[in-house]
Amino acid sequence: MIVDCGIYRNGRRTEGPADFCDALAEAKAAGDSFVWIGLHEPTQHEFDRVSEEFGLHPLAVEDALKAHQRPKLEVYDDSLFVVLKPVVYEPESDRVSSGELMLFLGDAFVVTVRHGEGAPLRAVRKRLEADPEVLRHGPTAVLYSVADAVVDHYLEVASELQADLEGLETEVFSPEGGGSRHTASRIYTFKRQILEFRRATGPLTVPLTRLAGTGQFMASVPFVDETARPFFRDVMDHLLKVNESVDGLDRLVSDVLSAHLAQMSVRQNDDMRKISAWAAMAAVPTMIAGVYGMNFDHMPELHWIGSYPAVILVMVGLEVLLYRQFKRRGWL
């Protein structure tokens, strides 16, 4: 559905026609205006009229309707198509989920399509409307502000994940928690959250590099003001920081998993040594008792008066000796 439709002239929102078709015609006639339409999970029927009126490319329209796209930037004849993936962190479940945000930019319009929750469009629109100097730059200002808000939220999510990882490290390296059978599952789940985060942040590098005009992408991007390149470079710097943080988290969680598995292996070895030590101690009296249970006729010591206490003393002495030896070697 259409969430909002506004006409902006010289950085300020103005009253205009309620129908977006008339609003677009008015913006084009004014020359210094643009229309910003926001849609949330539109249906095919709802989006057909928008795409026809604004001349959006069929491939981009298909991507916007079906969602499940990677962050990207596509240039078409009459519009620019940008896909971003806002990320939401749920502290109750320690879960990272991502939505999708598509922007169509033209000479006198911006169309935003939102799928899922977490897209900061309402806050961005409110902030832009309170800053006419920025909004005066037209659709480029909207694209920059949305990208900046999405990437800044990535930094917040990265900080939350860092705090979760520190808690997981404490659990793994604690004497009691490290041996929990659920710890490995938690570590693997956390690694899946980092992978979900990486899917949103990693592919965004190339689109922002193009918008910033750095590296091999020195050519200007249509429908984007070249004077905005320094601002996109600032967003790119933040994204690089996020990607470095994600790489660090991924390496650390892999190290934590390896440390946990090593701890489990050591503890299993300790358990096996204890079992072996107790088995050896049980084998000595069993062997001695087994000898005297063979019922041979010629066993003179069976008729000695002190045989029973002597055998018991030998058993106890051997058990004490074995216990002290195993204890000294750390097996018990």
**pTM of the model as a whole:** 0.77
Torsions phi, psi of 98, nearest 5? -125, 145
Residue type, 261: L
Tell me whether residue 85 is exposed, middle or buried, using C-beta atoms within 10 angstroms of its C-beta: 0 to 12, 13 to 18, 19 or more: buried
The whole-number pLDDT of residue 246 equals: 92
The answer to whether 149 touches 238, Cβ cutoff 8 Å, is no
Residues 6+ apart with CB under 8 A from 196: 87, 96, 97, 98
Residue type, 195: L
The whole-number pLDDT of residue 217 equals: 64
SS3 60: helix
β 100-105/95-98 pair status: unpaired
Q: How far apart are CA 103 and CA 75, in angstroms?
A: 12
The answer to whether 161 touches 96, Cβ cutoff 8 Å, is yes
Q: How far apart are CA 262 and CA 244, in angstroms?
A: 27
Burial 41-51 (b: 16+ CB within 10 A, else e): ebeeeebeebb
Q: What is the pLDDT along the chain (332 residues), one digit of tens a residue?
A: 677 788 888 888 887 666 767 777 777 777 778 888 888 888 888 888 888 888 888 999 888 888 788 999 999 988 899 999 999 888 777 788 888 999 999 888 899 998 877 667 888 888 988 888 888 888 999 999 999 999 999 999 999 888 888 888 887 777 665 556 677 788 888 888 899 899 999 999 999 999 988 766 667 888 888 889 999 999 999 999 999 999 998 888 888 888 777 777 767 777 777 788 888 788 878 887 777 777 666 676 667 777 778 778 888 888 888 788 877 777 76
Q: Within its chain, how far is the Cα of 159 from the centroid?
A: 11
Q: How far apart are CA 215 and CA 233, in angstroms?
A: 11
The whole-number pLDDT of residue 149 equals: 92
